[in-house]
Every structure is written in structure tokens, then in C-alpha cells.
């Protein structure tokens, strides 16, 4: 996995050791569904493997990556939710659509995290083609959904 080698607890002064009481929202874009389902599966399983409870993980689907920011906001404004993980896949095309979507979702997700002062994780693939996406959604380059979940745990101080 291409995350840093720091121990999870080095990122936050909270230093929690038990995440069973933490609540997570995973927001999933339906565009490029085969890829985003694999990202979701990776993120969900990683949270469970680290001690999150099934009932503390909620899922919210949105139509496309552009809608991830608003989906994240709906989740983050719930004070019971500790962290939000956004999963999407924007494949480069021949028009500037790609740039607009990527810029918007990156800025939108950042703003939601700052507004609600809680981790809102950017788990959005931006590959040139579908194969590159699949390679990063459980293929030869791992699963970026796993990494997004690990990032959420690190930001919570786990
Ligand atoms: C319109 C569009 C296109 C062309 N490509 C993608 C994509 O590769 N990945 C993705 O998540 N969403 C795409 N979308 C949909 C937009 O994210 C958005 O749902 C629509 O522009 C409606 O706001």
C-alpha cells in the first residue's frame, strides 16, 4: 500500500486505540460503477478489519463524482458521523469535462472537511482509462478504497 509508513497514531493527538464507537459515512459515485464498487468494498472491509462495527458504517450513493461534495456535506453535517470517505472514478475524456469535475470535487470535499472540522477523505481515481482505474481498484496497484479508509483512521488518531 502506498501510504506513508508512519504508525496510525502519529497523525493526531487523540491517539485512539479502539474505533468500535466511531461512525463512518462512505459516499459512492455511481459513474464507473464497477470501479467504485470495488473501491467501496476495499474501504468497507478495511474499516471492519480495524474494528469498526457494521452498524456504524453508512453508505450514501450519488450519481457522479461531481455530486460527491454535496453527498459528503449531507453526511458530515450529521454530528454522529466522525469521518466521511468519498469514492469516485473520473476517467479522462476528450473534453474538458474531466478537469471541471476533478477540480470541483477536490475543492468541494476540502471545503466540507474544513466546514465541519472532521475528516472528509478524497478517494477519487482520476485515471486515463478504465484499465488504469481497475489496476487501482483491487488490481495490480492495490485498492485506493483501502487507502482512503486508512487515511480516515489516521485522521481520527487511530
Ligand atoms: C458527465 C460525467 C462524465 C462525462 N464522466 C464522469 C466520470 O468519468 N466519472 C464520474 O464520476 N462522473 C462523470 N460524469 C458525471 C458527473 O460527475 C455529474 O454527475 C454530472 O455532470 C451531473 O452533475
**pLDDT digits 0-9 by tens, 33-76:** 999 999 999 999 999 999 999 999 999 999 999 999 999 999 99
Q: Is the pLDDT of residue 124 over 90?
A: yes
Confidence of residue 1 (pLDDT cuts 50, 70, 90): very low
Q: Which CATH superfamily is domain 22-155 in?
A: Lumazine/riboflavin synthase (3.40.50.960)
Angle at which helix 97-116 crosses helix 68-76, to 10 degrees, equals 10
Q: How far is the CA of 41 from the centre of ligand 1 (A)?
A: 21
| Extents of the domains making up the chain | 22-155
pLDDT at 96: 86
Query: Pick the residue with more confidence: 81 or 13?
Result: 81
Testing ligand 1's pocket by substitution, the residue of 27, 65, 71 carrying the most ligand atoms inside 8 A of its CB is: 65
Per cent of the chain over pLDDT 90 is 85
pLDDT at 57: 98
pTM of the model: 0.92
Assign residue 13 a region (left: φ > 0; alpha: ψ between -120 and 50; beta: otherwise).
alpha
Amino acid at each position: 500500500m502506498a501510504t506513508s509508513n508512519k504508525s496510525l497514531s502519529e497523525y493526531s493527538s487523540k491517539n485512539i486505540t479502539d474505533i468500535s464507537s466511531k461512525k463512518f459515512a462512505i459516499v459512492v459515485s455511481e459513474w464507473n460503477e464497477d470501479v467504485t464498487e470495488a473501491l467501496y468494498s476495499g474501504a468497507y472491509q478495511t474499516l471492519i478489519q480495524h474494528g469498526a462495527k457494521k452498524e456504524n458504517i453508512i453508505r450514501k450513493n450519488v450519481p457522479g463524482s461531481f455530486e460527491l461534495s454535496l453527498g459528503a456535506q449531507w453526511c458530515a453535517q450529521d454530528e454522529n458521523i466522525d469521518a466521511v470517505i468519498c469514492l469516485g472514478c473520473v476517467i479522462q475524456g476528450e473534453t474538458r469535462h474531466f478537469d471541471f469535475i476533478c477540480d470541483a470535487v477536490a475543492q468541494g470535499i476540502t471545503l466540507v472537511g474544513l466546514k465541519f472540522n472532521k475528516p472528509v477523505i478524497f478517494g477519487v481515481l482520476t485515471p486515463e482509462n478504465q484499465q488504469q482505474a481497475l489496476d487501482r481498484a483491487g488490481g495490480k496497484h492495490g485498492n485506493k478504497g483501502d487507502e482512503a479508509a486508512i487515511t480516515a483512521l489516521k485522521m481520527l488518531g487511530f
